[in-house]
Amino acid sequence: MAADKLQIKQTILDGVQYGIKNVVPLILMVILYVVTIWIPWLNVGTTVGLYKSVIKIGRGEVINPVDIFAKENWQNLGDFFLLMGLMSIGITAACMFVFIPGIILSFAWSFALYFFIDKGLSPTKALKVSYKVTDGEKWTIFWIMLIVCVLGGIVCGLFAGLATIKYVGWLFAILCFAAYLITFAVLLAVDGVMYKYFSEKADKIFADKIGCCCKEEPKAPEAPVAPAAPEAPAE
């Protein structure tokens, strides 16, 4: 999804499409995560794995539930904890000013973890990039998340109300649970779709700057190899 501004309608449509496509593997992944979340250190890597899966969903890829146990999820955990700490301290401090600055900052930094995991940025640079690319688009992020939550809540509430009907209530109860799972999957997919947009936006913003945040610096060309001296003719 390439656009000058984040599009509410297209983002939600893409999120619905990708979320439904990944609803089964995503639910299996969440089950694996919940089962193992009590295991120290393992739960840190699985948390990183969940964030990576959201990035893949936003790109339209189908995820594998066991990817949360991938070995590379345990790399750079020191920087991961540092980034989480900086975000918590910053947002908490901002909330002291009648909560509004904290809410704004939470939207501004909402994609920092994705930039850190996907682009390999340092904690401070991930925060700066997330803040930069969301500038002027925080209200759009807010409306996208609000619309998805409200629509999902309406559908779940409708099925929950119909679940009280005698004899067929069990069917609507199942539909209510299914709607909740789909809404959960769509919310994660929408987050991934928004990150995909902001990742492409970051590439454009920083493309002409030294130390580009999203691309590897070009390698220096190798020195040409001198041609071998011709062999002397045999006598």
Chain segment 219-229, per-residue pLDDT in tens? 445 555 555 55
- Is this prediction's pTM over 0.85? no
Q: How many residues does the chain have?
A: 235
> Read out DSSP for the chain?
---SS--HHHHHHHHHHHHHHTHHHHHHHHHHHHHHTTSTTHHHHHHHHHHHHHHHHHTTPPP-GGGGG-GGGGTTHHHHHHHHHHHHHHHHHHHTTTSHHHHHHHHHTTTHHHHHHHH---HHHHHHHHHHHTTT-HHHHHHHHHHHHHHHHHHHHHHHHHTTSTTTHHHHHHHHHHHHHHHHHHHHHHHHHHHHHHHHHHHHHHTTSSS-SSSPPPPPPPPPPPPPPPPPPP-
pLDDT digits (tens, 9 = 90+) for 103-119: 999 999 999 999 999 99
Which tokens hold the place of 46? Answer: 């699985």
Residue ranges per domain, the chain?
Answer: 8-205
Residues 28-83: tens digit of each pLDDT: 998 898 899 899 999 999 999 999 999 999 998 889 999 999 999 998 899 999 99
